Chains A and B, each alone.
Chain A
Amino acid sequence: MIEKKCQKILNTYHTENGSVISILQDMQEVFGYIREDAVEWFSAKLNIPASSFFGVATFYSQFYLKPRGKNIVTACCGTACHVKGSEAIINRMRADLAVAVGEDTTADGQFTLETVACVGACSIAPVVIVNKKIFGGVTPEKSSGILKDYEKNSKG
């Protein structure tokens, strides 16, 4: 199963130098996170130690070593959003989703809450992104409303 998918990724890249990051990006796109077995497959195929893959994967914050929720909620905490109160929004959403302290995914795997330092939409700060849809001018109240809509959709 994973082999077929891995081979497909490999076909796009094997000629290029410096493809570790690109392979990891594609792996994450296909599997949703960085799978250990997939890394080992590539490591064997390309004769690159698995530690190089993990070294890169843990350096960049884009890579996840654990599966993530069905809906990805991203709150911006860049400068513009920070001075317009993003922290209160993040705290409210953590409470609404009941994400455990120290975790970022809800127990039922429906939502992952993460933060990002600026998505480049600072003029409509504070910004929250749910599954790539951008919401601007968010308040704690609005963020509760946004999450409710997604909760309904993912159940119904």
Chain B
Amino acid sequence: MAGQTKTRPGTRKVSRAGKKAKATTASRSKAQSGVQAVKDLTIKVCMGTGGLAAGSQDVIDEFAAQLRVCGITADIVKKCVNKTGCRGFCAKDVLVEITLDGETAVYQLVTPDKVSRIVQEHILGGDPVEQWLVGPEYHAFHDKQTKILLKQCGQIDPEDINAYIEIGGYEGVKKALSQTPFEVIEEVKSSGLRGRGGAGFPTGLKWEFCSMSSEAVRYIICNADEGDPGAFMDRAIIEGNPHSVLEGMIIGGYAIGAKEGYIYIRAEYPLAVGRLEIAIEQAKKRGFLGKNVLRSGYDFEIRIKQGAGAFVCGEASALMRSIEGKRGMPRAKLWRSAVKGLWDKPTVLNNVETFANIPLIILNGAEWYRGFGTERSTGTKVFALTGKMKNTGLIEVPMGMTLREMIFDIGGGMTGKNTLKAVQTGGPSGGCIPARHLDLPVDFDSLASVGSMMGSGSMVVVDQTTCMVDLAKFFITFTQHESCGKCVPCRIGTKRMLETLTRITEGRGREDDIDLLIELGNDIKNASLCGLGQSAPNPILSTIEFFREEYEAHIKYGRCPANVCKSLRQYLISPEACKMCGKCSRVCPSGAIKWEPRHTAELDKTKCVKCGACYDACPFNAIM
């Protein structure tokens, strides 16, 4: 499918969010100057992408309207109703937290029609509406986590710098500027922080290399490209607490001696881009950015560059070419970016989450930070739990927690009667971990030991209804499509792998295809130019290792154990169920379905290519 339709939308502006922010600050100062408070009331509504999709803007509007009807003045309404970023528990959005006279209650799955009862019974009457409150799984979801990065996401207004400053924001910058760059780097080094963008390179070391350069002009870049389909922690951090990322970059820039920073962010994240723009403006006004930061003599500026939809641009050298306005092609690693990066100047590139950790490390010290996680993977990590589980969402846990704890204790286990088959980590560069390895501690080295990787921290849980061969094909389709085409092993190798997998899923697999995939995979890994090719075969190699019998079932018996591969199914049209709409006939690419108005459709099996398009198109489940 992906090949037929255009990939990725071109979105660019978010101005509404910007206007809203101004309105909030203006009303705050008015409210302070005299209107009497009816009640000590705060309402927090999740306004992350998940919340917005679930209709949180309508919920906010409804609260505002209802409170106005009840005679609580509009000014107070605006002050009381806070917009917050994502609090992770997106499966039960819209989440609304109400604090009334010091007591807090959280509602889940709030819709505008529930608001009136909440206002009447809870806010006016003082009795929370029990049946709509969050259940025990909400508490299990939160209590088992260790939140240091996500702590403020969902609690503070991301469009208001004062909210961040009130909770100790920008203290890290103050402390760093009172130290020498060397001291800052030493602190980061001794914290043991490793890059959260995937490879896990020690951040302090990277900074040290760059700071030792003899060149005067240097750059620092934040990688917010988040290309792994299935990961959204960087988006959530930026939407929920954009200033923490800016603060990390300012500290980093000071440490390596850069005067300019860039944030390279996906254009698919319009809300995050908008919040960053607001945050940068506010930080400039307060003197955290610009000439002479906090009168320390250090100048620093941050610019936003929007990506244009290419996965490979998450790779360091391709990203830098893209900022330069060129085609985002990686180049051979003759030099480290710390020597020749953006515009051939020494450059440090770090991930969003890496930067968000920095202010905490500087402020609380390396010792404190090492208290979380394991010896070789310190700190916490944010994971995106998705797939066939009950509580999908974002979680933050110390490094080294087992998959079982994450999926069953925090994630609440599987939905329905499904049983867990595998966990896919690391996206298109990672692998599938089978259920028998559930007690594996999750850190950089353990994941690598089973042929997967941390990647950005996506975790997609699949059950018996997912075909592992099809999943491998899904990833190689993605990487093949995203390969920039510069080096042969990646450009042609991934294509051959995709062809082989397609053949297998269509029941035309050959006896030696598995060996061919393994050989090809290892060659591509060894010979590709950049990380994209070097990791592209991982999903295939790991599914072959752990689910070889599924490959064999496809090849030897023409059977898909999960009943996913469409070519291995038989299609039939039920004359009883057919409502004669003709949709199936229109989508059939091979003209195998005969249909005329007011006649049931008929399938010619000799022409059918078993693509399954008619099956998906039928609104009446008449195709079996």
Contact = CB atoms under 8 A, between A and B. Distances in A.
Contacts of B162: none
Contacts, number: 216
B617 A95 contact: yes
Contacts of A88: 615-616
Nearest to A56: B327
A123 B2 contact: no
A135 B53 contact: yes
Given A124-B53, A134-B52, A114 B9 contact: yes
Interface in A113-144: 113-125, 127, 129, 132, 134-136, 140-141, 144
B616 A140 contact: yes
A41 B562 CA distance: 55
A153 interface: no
Contact of B53 (A60, A101, A136): A136
Contacts of A84: 387-388
Interface residues of B, number: 78
B102 interface: no
Contacts of A92: 616-617, 619
Given A25-B306, A136-B53, A123 B267 contact: no
Nearest to B232: A120
A122 B460 CA distance: 10
A114 B4 CA distance: 9
Interface string B325-368: 11110000000000000010000000000000000000000000
B586 A21 contact: no
A114 B474 CA distance: 17
B191 interface: no
A66 to B, nearest CB: 9
Contact of A59 (B310, B460, B466, B586): B310
A108 interface: no
Given A19-B325, A29-B13, A120-B269, A104 B230 contact: no
B229 A127 contact: no
B177 interface: no
A64 B325 contact: no
Interface of B: 1-2, 4-13, 49-50, 52-54, 90-91, 93, 226-232, 235-236, 267-270, 305-311, 322-328, 343, 384-388, 392-394, 424, 427, 458, 460, 462, 466, 471, 474-475, 478, 484, 583-584, 586-587, 589, 612-613, 615-617, 619
13 contacts: A18-B324, A18-B326, A59-B310, A79-B229, A79-B458, A84-B387, A88-B615, A91-B1, A91-B612, A95-B587, A121-B232, A122-B386, A140-B619
